[in-house]
Amino acid sequence: MRTTDLLFSAAYLLIFIVLGSQISHLDSSSSATVSAQLYPWLVIGTGVLVGVIETARTLLASHGGGEPGFSELWNRALAPRRLLLLGLFVIYLAAITSVGFLSATAVFTFVTMIALSPRRDLKTFVVALISTAALVGFIYVLLVVYLQAFLP
Amino acid sequence: MYDLFLTGASAVFHFWTLVGIACGVAGGLVIGAIPGLTSTMAIALLVPITYAMKIEFAIPLLMGVYCGAISGGLVGAILLNIPGTPASAATCLDGYPMAAKGQVLRALGLGVYSSMIGGVLSGLALVFIAPLLAKVALSFGPWEYFSLVVFTFSCISAMSSKGRSVKAFMAAFIGLAIALVGLDEASGQVRMTFGFTALESGFSVLPALIGLYAIPQLLSDTDDIGQTPRVLNVNFKLREFTAAFGEVLSRKRDLLRSTVIGIVIGILPGVGPGLSNIVAYGQARRASKTPEKFGTGELPEAVIAPETANNASMGGALIPMLTLGIPGDASTLMMLGAFMLHGIDPGPLLFRDHGDIVWIVFISFFVAFAFCTVFYHMFIPLTVKAISVPRQYVIPVLLILCTVGCYSLNNRMFDVYCFLGFGVLGYLLHIARIPVLPVILGLILGPMAENQLRLALAFGNGSVLPFFTRPISCLILVVALASVVLPLIMNRRQSLDLAEIRD
């Protein structure tokens, strides 16, 4: 957990320093009493300070007993089913504009249900098919008929 | 006031609105009963869809989901030993052992009736406290509002688990930094966009909210796929179920104590039913003559206390949301998003300018609890079935509904990409065990903090002294400081005591 904490603190500080570099682009020479740079500086500056405190705290702290180790934590975070779901969802979003929203939704729902199932028998296929049809029908009624939205 | 009450009542008691509340409660009960799907998730799914609805219909519908989902958590806690929502975490401790002894209906009855009583009492507190607080808040200037934002973040830090309070602050600053992106309304300058024109209007709050909550939760839920839940058998008999009502009423002291705990914790910004049920359980145990019997499933107060408190927190959490625009918990944070989506900013002016909307909230809160009670008598077996639905069918459906919700807000794919981006951010925070709630609070309260700070400095000719010379502002800041420093001192003292004992 300590390594993960340090990694997080490093990423956090890096992002805040990058954001801080953007503040100088703001024009503070307006006639307003309060400079346009004041609040961003307050947020980024205090944010960096908090990040430094946390980094120092993590470095000085003794190893926490009972907390998951680096490899255990990341093995759980990168579990195959989690990555599969995230990967399929990213592909689905990328496919929407080329394949069409309803077709992409139907394919994603069906494929994800099958892919996530621990057993792939006839019952799973039938339930996935019925669920997909019901979901697509519901979305069509909701988006097109009720909300009268344009499909992507 | 009477006119506003009548306007609110006529809106809520409209046929289709009642149908909406009933559907919201039913959906909330089902989602709340399924372990892993929280009330926040239920409201998050629905908020974007309410965009096309009239606010007089949308708010009662969301109230129905809110009440249903928090109440539904007890089913999973009692029958599965897994709380449907964090609000029912302490219910598992005695609810499940009681049900496992063959007293399923007694355990469910105790949970349902104490939930309803806690909910109704907190609703009364909401009706009486909220207008008073709104009157006080009308005298607040920008100094007090900025101090309140500081207090909100200090509360979150104080309630964080040991050693995680600085991380909660970091999360809050991530939210505040994200809120900086886009147009600075005062100076008319674009900031932190890195040249992306799509970012000039900033991030839409709702896709960020939904992404931060839903994606990490759905990804984590995939771990439960293939695990067949061991659900206790329920042979529903109405007489046996209703017998618990008398037992609940006979525990007046526990009801009252847990209700007060629930309301007070609910009012505190950023914490809600997830904490109140645990505190109420602990207090009930402390007050009991037979504390050793807690955890055995013998004592009714061990189920009554957490269930009363978690529902009592709901009314409490709505008080700061309606009167100050500061959410009491994650679910009211979503409700705040719904209000903003409909162009209404909660705060003291809400009571002056939209009194009818306030009454719609009050009345629909009670109506939702009435529906909740009725539905529990009718559909317990159905709710039990809902918790057995395999996750592989639920997860893709919820993911798609979130996507549709985000898209339908502005009919643009950018919001959907934001949903994914914030989801990945939320997942990374989840891995690093960093709470997501402060990020969202930072995102929502960031613009308010900026505007109030700017106004305060402008009114004071750039001086920060009024923050400390105005009594209420100073008091809020002192309490905020105390809520950060006191836990540190107490932890330090505990460590020293432990060291002394070891020596």
Nearest CA distance, B142 vs chain A (angstrom) = 14
CB contact under 8 A, B223 and A81: yes
Q: Which residues, at least 6 apart from A35, have a Cβ–Cβ distance to it below 8 Å?
A: A28
Q: Above 90 in pLDDT, residue B423?
A: yes
Total number of residues shown for chain A: 152
Task: Give yes or no for a contact between B317 and B328, defined as CB atoms under 8 angstroms apart.
Answer: yes
Residue-wise pLDDT for B140-183, tens only, equals 899 999 998 898 888 777 666 666 788 889 999 999 999 999 98
Q: Decide: helix, strand or coil at residue B182.
A: strand
CB contact under 8 A, A16 and B177: yes
Residue-wise pLDDT for B229-282, tens only, equals 666 777 778 888 888 899 999 999 999 999 999 998 888 876 677 778 888 998
Q: Above 80 in pLDDT, residue B301?
A: yes
Least confident of B17-26, B47-56, B265-274: B265-274
Task: Give yes or no for a contact between B336 and B270, defined as CB atoms under 8 angstroms apart.
Answer: no
Residue-wise pLDDT for B315-353, tens only, equals 888 998 899 888 877 888 888 888 888 888 888 888 888
Nearest CA distance, A72 vs chain B (angstrom) = 11
Q: Above 80 in pLDDT, residue B356?
A: yes
pLDDT recorded at residue A63: 61
Nearest CA distance, B8 vs chain A (angstrom) = 25
Spell out the per-residue pLDDT of chain A, length 152, in tens: 678 888 999 999 999 999 998 888 887 765 567 788 889 999 999 999 999 999 998 888 766 556 777 788 888 888 999 999 999 999 999 999 889 889 999 999 999 999 999 888 898 999 999 999 999 998 888 778 876 777 77
pLDDT recorded at residue B493: 73
pLDDT recorded at residue A42: 93
How deeply is A75 buried, as exposed, middle or buried, from its count of CB atoms within 10 A (0-12, 13-18, 19+)? exposed
Tell me the mean pLDDT in the region B28-56. 82
The whole model's pTM is what? 0.83
pLDDT recorded at residue B170: 92
Chain A residues within an 8 Å CB radius of B466: none
Residue-wise pLDDT for B219-229, tens only, equals 988 888 877 66
pLDDT recorded at residue B484: 81
Chain A's closest residue to B215, CA to CA, is A86
Distance CA B111, CA B270 (A): 25
Handedness of CA B113, B116, B122, B128 (dihedral sign): negative
pLDDT recorded at residue B23: 92
A10 interfacial to chain B (CB closer than 8 Å): no
How deeply is B337 buried, as exposed, middle or buried, from its count of CB atoms within 10 A (0-12, 13-18, 19+)? buried
Q: What's A143's DSSP letter?
A: I
pLDDT recorded at residue A68: 74
Distance CA B130, CA B349 (A): 12
Residue-wise pLDDT for B358-406, tens only, equals 999 999 999 999 999 899 888 777 777 777 788 889 899 989 988 888 8
Total number of residues shown for chain B: 503
Q: What's B14's DSSP letter?
A: S
Interface of A with B in 14-33 (CB under 8 A): 15-16, 19, 22-23, 25-27, 30, 32-33
ipTM for the whole predicted complex goes beyond 0.95: no
Structure tokens at B207: 């896709």
Distance CA B217, CA B195 (A): 32
B124 interfacial to chain A (CB closer than 8 Å): no
Q: What's B461's DSSP letter?
A: T
Task: Give yes or no for a contact between B147 and B480, defined as CB atoms under 8 angstroms apart.
Answer: yes
What average pLDDT does chain B have?
86
pLDDT recorded at residue A29: 64
Buried b / exposed e along A22-43 (16+ C-beta atoms within 10 A): bbeebeeeeeeebbbbbbbbeb
Chain B's closest residue to A135, CA to CA, is B397
Distance CA B439, CA B428 (A): 13
DSSP string, B272-321: -HHHHHHHHHHHHHHH-S-GGGTTTT--THHHHHHHHHHHHHHHHHHHHH
Residue B437's pLDDT band, with cuts at 50, 70 and 90, is confident
Task: Give yes or no for a contact between A53 and B477, defined as CB atoms under 8 angstroms apart.
Answer: no
pLDDT recorded at residue A32: 63
Q: Which site among B392, B439, B467, B495 would you substitute to test the A interface, given the most A Cβ atoms closer than 10 Å to its Cβ?
A: B392
Tell me the mean pLDDT in the region B495-500. 68
DSSP string, A28-75: --SSSSS-TTHHHHHHHHHHHHHHHHHHHHHHHSPPPTTSPPHHHHHH
